[in-house]
Structure 1
Amino acid sequence: MTNIELIIFDMDGLMFDSERIAFSAWQEVLNKHGYEITLDFYLNLIGSNEERIKELCSKEYGSDFPFDELKQERYQVVDRIINNKGLPLKTGLKELLDYLQDKPLKKAVATSTNRERALKLLNLHKLVPYFDYIFCGDEITKSKPHPEIFLKVCEKLNCEPTKTIVLEDSIAGIIASFNANMIPIMIPDMIEPNEAVKDKIYKCFNNLLEVKKYLTENFFQA
């Protein structure tokens, strides 16, 4: 394989064990207001930015669904859960980031979460300095699975898409990185690879420690 110029990290479900927290928060808020959310519907939201989630919720619950109001309530519930229980890092994240510190490539975050929320979560674990660039869901016009967010990162960092690895846990993210002509690596969280993406995944690993091992053996041998 070609030399790698850039590794792009998704955030929720890839760096943080946050998708389950988000689902619990949605359940609490929607139940309070007389709505129900199924796990299957929530899984369809993973990887989407707020505008796309709002669109999907309008289709599911009706055009009068008060998304903006309930979104703010959900943030409050998420913050309460994190304040009480913390925000767990995914297995191997710090080890992988520390390992990549002195490697001749760039690192970026590409998350569907808005910038204010993303920076708040990243700063909880002092992760911002690890990255050359952070690109967020409120800075794009088209949500994953459209490749815009990944292509924007490459453009900003002057890197070739074909020399870019994308680490993702979501189906939408894998499709987006594949459509961007990048190298999609999936580390499943709440969603296992399905037929729509099995032929688009370059590699699939259980955790980021396995990613570190793969990079060591294939790109950065001593």
Structure 2
Amino acid sequence: MIEAVLFDMDGILIDSEREYDKAMREAITRYGHMITDEFLIRVRGIPVEAFKKSLKLEFGRDFPVEKFRNDFKSIVWQNIRQYGMPVKNGVYQLIQYLEVNNIRYAVATSNDRAMALELLEAADLRGVFEYMVCGDEVEHGKPFPDIYQKAADMLGVNIKHTLVIEDSYNGIRAGHAAGASVIMVPDLVQPTDEIRQMTDYVVSDLGKVISCISNF
């Protein structure tokens, strides 16, 4: 029986992953580099410090990580101010279902808390989620299980009775490693054979999660 649902944020609650990818590709050209699809898949869902290390591994130890991140965030927020931050399909429908059925829920995102709060505010979701664990609040980020274990502990629920909803490979690995049930809602990547073995269901949007919950 599912007692709590733990949501990833980017690509699950808000349609931010596309903005991140576009902004990274644009920002990196200022430094004479290109970002590959493989790199984007590899870093999707990981926390900030791990992302910084990945940049140096990819582009060299002298790569100006902080300057790049400032450029990247500037582009992201410029686009959000211009176009808004869309909420993913089924968010409100699923939250309403959880409320009616007394199932607790929280956000577990690799973003640092300041960025996460700003993004939820931009999507008009900040008041929806009372509980949140962020990437800068755990020792080991996704794909390690720490963030989901901490979120379950925060809600006072055994991790084995929680459902993790993710779109990234690293997030799914984290939920699976934590011992939670896992549903993938693909955003920019489809599940591989490895990822399918770690998920209980793969569905097209959050609204379709509702019919799965009673099966656990």
State which of 64, 82, 85 in structure 2 corresponds to 1:84: 82
| SS of residue in 2 equivalent to 1:130 | coil
Say whether the 8 Å CA contact 1:101–1:130 is kept in structure 2.
no
Q: Structure 2: how far apart are the matches of 1:100 and 1:6?
A: 9
Corresponding residue for residue 17 of structure 1: 15
| SS of residue in 2 equivalent to 1:98 | helix
Cα–Cα, structure 1 residues 4 and 132, in superposed 2: closer, same or farther, change >3 Å?
farther
Corresponding residue for residue 60 of structure 1: 58
Q: Which is worse superposed, 15-24 or 124-133?
A: 124-133
Runs of 4+ aligned residues of structure 1 deviating over 4 Å after TM superposition are: none
User: Residue type of the partner of 2:164?
Assistant: V
What percentage of residue pairs aligned between the two structures are identical?
Answer: 35
Q: CA deviation at 1:14?
A: 0.8
* Matched length: 216
Q: CA deviation at 1:218?
A: 4.0
Say whether the 8 Å CA contact 1:49–1:113 is kept in structure 2.
yes
Cα–Cα, structure 1 residues 98 and 124, in superposed 2: closer, same or farther, change >3 Å?
farther
2:210 matched to 1:212?
A: yes
CA shift digits 1:128-160 (9 cap, x unpaired): 333231111111121211000000111122110
| SS of residue in 2 equivalent to 1:198 | helix
Q: Structure 1: how far apart are the matches of 2:82 and 2:210?
A: 31
| SS of residue in 1 equivalent to 2:63 | coil
State which of 97, 102, 105 in structure 2 corresponds to 1:104: 102
State which of 124, 127, 131 in structure 2 corresponds to 1:126: 124
Provide TM-score, normalisation by structure 2: 0.95
Corresponding residue for residue 47 of structure 2: 49
User: Residue type of the partner of 2:65?
Assistant: F
2:146 matched to 1:117?
A: no
Q: Structure 2: how far apart are the matches of 1:124 and 1:162?
A: 33
Q: Structure 2: how far apart are the matches of 1:143 and 1:197?
A: 18
Corresponding residue for residue 94 of structure 1: 92
State which of 164, 178, 184 in structure 2 corresponds to 1:166: 164
CA RMSD in angstroms comes to 1.4
Q: Structure 2: how far apart are the matches of 1:76 and 1:125?
A: 17
| SS of residue in 2 equivalent to 1:4 | coil
CA shift digits 1:55-107 (9 cap, x unpaired): 11111101111111111111110000111111111111122122222321211
Corresponding residue for residue 75 of structure 1: 73
Say whether the 8 Å CA contact 2:45–2:171 is kept in structure 1.
yes
Q: Structure 1: how far apart are the matches of 2:64 and 2:194?
A: 32
| SS of residue in 2 equivalent to 1:97 | helix
